[in-house]
Amino acid sequence: MIARTNTPDRLEIELAIPRFILWFVMFPVVPITLFGLVNLLGGEVMTALVLLLGLNGAFLLGYAALSERTILTLDKPSGRVTVRRESRFRARTDTYPLDALDSAELDRTRSSGGDRATSKVMLVFRNTRPATRIPLSGWGVSGDGPGQIADEINDWLRRNTPPTN
């Protein structure tokens, strides 16, 4: 999670899993491919297909799912909130009115053991009843990163939007 731009007219935040984690996810592909090719050359066609297509396919799908990134833009001159989601399969952009954005909050989920929690940043829009909550990412993370992002969004909104009567 990184703030790209933070000026009075524009706040742009990118939420993505760090690239080095994605490389760790893809690391097993190399030995599995080599082992699958050795099996294919040795005449074990079914084992080679399972390794080359099955396991590598699973790792590639996992990589594609984890490589999703979200770019949030709060643009004061245009009066818009833009949420752009990019993945290996598609890109989608949703636009909302900036004056309807009330705040950012955390959606916390506890694990089954109860000792660990993950958080997602949610945008709260007050122009509907009940308020509309839109998650910025499909995955939650532990640690203080989501809280810092929510605080940064709320600080920007506090400084740059007029109070409502």
Collapse the DSSP code of 9 into the 3-class scheme (helix H, G, I; strand E, B; otherwise coil) and give the result: coil
For residues 45 and 120, state if they share a domain: no
Give the pLDDT confidence score for residue 84 in this predicted structure: 93
What percentage of the chain has pLDDT greater than the value 90?
12
**Model confidence over 99-135: pLDDT tens digits?**
888 888 888 776 666 666 778 888 988 877 777 888 8
Residue 60 pLDDT greater than 90, yes or no:
no
- Our count of domains for the chain comes to 2
Q: How confident is the model at residue 75 (pLDDT cuts 50, 70, 90)?
A: very high
Cα–Cα dist 89/66, whole Å: 12
**Per the domain annotation, does 26 fall within a domain?**
yes
**Per the domain annotation, does 125 fall within a domain?**
yes
For residues 62 and 74, state if they share a domain: no
Give the pLDDT confidence score for residue 54 in this predicted structure: 82
Range of the domain at 29: 22-66
For residues 150 and 92, state if they share a domain: yes
Q: Phi/psi of residue 140, each to 5°?
A: -105, 155
What amino acid occupies position 140?
G
**Would the pTM count as exceeding 0.85?**
no
**Per the domain annotation, does 110 fall within a domain?**
yes
For residues 78 and 110, state if they share a domain: yes
For residues 122 and 142, state if they share a domain: yes
Helix or strand (DSSP H, E) at 87: none
For residues 11 and 37, state if they share a domain: no
E-strand stretches of the chain? 2-6, 10-16, 69-75, 80-86, 91-97, 101-110, 117-125, 132-135
For residues 62 and 9, state if they share a domain: no
**Per the domain annotation, does 83 fall within a domain?**
yes
Residue 141 pLDDT greater than 80, yes or no:
no
Residue 17 pLDDT greater than 80, yes or no:
no
Residue environment code for 84-123, b if the CB has 16+ CB neighbours within 10 A, otherwise e: ebbeeeeeeeeebebebbbebbbeeeeeeeeeeebbbbbb
Residues 6+ apart with CB under 8 A from 33: 51, 52, 56
Q: How confident is the model at residue 63 (pLDDT cuts 50, 70, 90)?
A: confident
CATH number of residue 113's parent domain: 2.30.29
